[in-house]
Every structure is written in structure tokens, then in C-alpha cells.
Amino acid sequence: MRLGVLDVGSNTVHFLVVDAHPGAAPLPAYSHKAELRLAELLDADGAISDAGVARLVDMVSSSLRVAEDKGVVDLLPFATSAVREAANGEAVLKRVQDETGVELQVLSGQDEARLTFLAVRRWFGWSSGRLLNLDIGGGSLEIGCGLDEQPDAAVSLPLGAGRLTAGWLPGDVADPEAVRELRRHIRAEIAGVVGEIARLGPPNHAVATSKTFKQLARMTGAAPAEAGPLVPRKLTRSGLAAWVPRLSTMSVAERSRIPGVSEGRAKQLLAGALVADAAMDLFGLDELDVCPWALREGIILRRLDTLDGQGTR
């Protein structure tokens, strides 16, 4: 069946059309996305601006047109931390539904961690043993760890690259003192949950998901996206640590010229690198395998599991 996944994230609103069947890997058929960066469109009261809401409504409407054109039979619309934590989140959801008919499912941070973990488990399989997964989004950092398809621990922290950039590093070139303060803040937040994860035992396999980790891995020498999703990609802490001081002195334009770094994500790259570096250090990880599947695939897999349980083929 042809599914349409509408992912209203903190950085990007992405409508992905996939051909999916129970027991088979979902195959992407068409991608329609826009970088709205909702996490950066908050006013002084923490509400998404009218302009931001209008852009979101337009994107949802255009996604519906794509869904009709591409023959989508089931729409899976969801929103993450930007809408979840916005002061006017309920009003945003109501306006989207009133103007488009789409009812966005707002995922909790723990739901994000669980569904992303499911996707990672399915990608790497049972032979990975105890998995530890890290995912840096625009609004939050999700951490999942466990032996099964559902993690034994699922944690969400307000350490997204977009959120941190808007709150701590708003300028073109980062202020050194702001970088030091942000580094301390990130490490204090992560340190508060290390014990919860560590008591489960050391991971057999440490994994990273999300666009931020993919760009950091590419920056440190991993294969480009054009090589395809099946090419193994790693992010090493030594490689990342060598880049962090350089990123802190670069302008946004200079970061955007790094191979693999998109222009729209260049401003957030330093904050994302600080979160990744802190997480790898505090969890004692020398390297992370980058998984091509993440939250969207987790949403699809959960839906397919439901169909399979109903006997749908």
C-alpha cells in the first residue's frame, strides 16, 4: 500500500510517500519538504509566529495535493517538539485541522525515542544486542537503550540543535563565552540521565540517527549521501572533537561550504556538534554507526505492524 508520512519537525516539514507492506522494508517513492525551522520561529512568549503557522498550513495543504497526485491511501501525520512545546501549540493544531482537515498527532519526547529505537532495531537486527541510540533533532535530543524492539529506557532532553542555536548562538560567528556556557549546559543536562542508561549495562552497539548526525559524519569523512543508504557510515569522537574548535570560529557561510552540510542547517551545526560530542563523551562512546532509518520509518513500521495484526496483506 502507498503511505504518506507527514512529519512536522522542529527544522523541516517533510512529506514522504512510501510503498510499504508488512514484512518488507518501506520503499521511498517521493519526497516533498520545506525547511520551516519552527523551533526558530518562536516569539518572546514561546509561541509560533503567525507567519510560521501560515507557512505550516501552506505546507500541509501542498502535501495533501501531493498525496492525491501520488495515490496515497493512508496518511500518517505527526508533529514533534516545536509544536508540542509551543505556547500556542493547541491553537496551531486547531488552525491546521480547520484549514486543511489534517489532525496532527503530537508525539511526546518518549514516543519519539521509542519509535526511533524501533526503526534502528529493525535496521540493524537482533544481532546488535543491547542498542543505544542517539537522535539530535531541531528541538530535542532523544536517547533510547534496550535489548528488545521497545527500549528499556527512552529519554528526551531539550537539547535540539535549532533550539540551542536560537537561544545561545544567535549570531553569525559564535561568541567564545557563549560556546563555553552552552557546552556546560549541554553536559549538565546529559549527565543527569547517564545513570538511568548506564544501569542497563554497556551497549553492544551504539547508533546515531537524524540529519544532524548524518552531516557530522559526512563532515568527518563518511561517505556522501549519493553513495546510498546501504553504505556503512560512522562518526568517531576523535574526528568530531577535532572539528568542534574549528566550527566555533567559522561563520555560517563558511560552515555551509563544508562537504555534506546543507545551507539551511549550517547555522545549527555547531550546537549539534556540541551535543554529539558531549553525548559520546559522557556515555563513553568512541564511535557511532549512523542509521539511515529514524522516526519517520518508526512511524511507518508501527503502522505496518498494526496492519499485519489485522491480517492485512
How high is the pLDDT of residue 308? 64
Residue 313: the pLDDT is 43
Instruction: Give the per-residue pLDDT at 309.
Output: 59
Domain 2-106 homologous superfamily, CATH: ATPase, nucleotide binding domain (3.30.420.40)
Determine contact, residues 212/276, Cβ cutoff 8 Å.
Answer: yes
Query: What is the DSSP code (8-state) at residue 266?
Result: G
Once rounded to an integer, what is the mean pLDDT over residues 132-156?
97
Name the DSSP class of 39.
G
Through-space distance between the first and last CA atoms of the chain, rounded to whole angstroms? 9
Residue 39 has pLDDT above 90, yes or no: no
**Does 109-295 match 2-106 at the fold level?**
yes
* Mean pLDDT computed over every residue of the chain: 95
Mean pLDDT in residue range 106-114: 97
- Residue 119 phi/psi, 5-degree rounding, is -60, -40
Residue ranges per structural domain of the chain: 2-106, 109-295
- What is the third-level CATH fold of 109-295? Nucleotidyltransferase; domain 5 (3.30.420)
Residues linked to residue 157 through DSSP beta bridges, in sequence order = 141
Among candidates 280, 132, 277, which has minimal Cα distance to 206?
Answer: 132
pLDDT digits (tens, 9 = 90+) for 236-276: 999 999 999 999 999 999 999 999 998 889 999 999 999 99
- pLDDT tens string 3-33: 999 999 998 999 999 999 988 899 999 999 9
Query: Looking at per-residue confidence, does 308 or 98 come out higher?
Result: 98
Query: According to the model, what pLDDT value does residue 310 have?
Result: 58
The pTM assigned to this predicted structure is 0.95
pLDDT exceeds cutoff 90 at 311: no
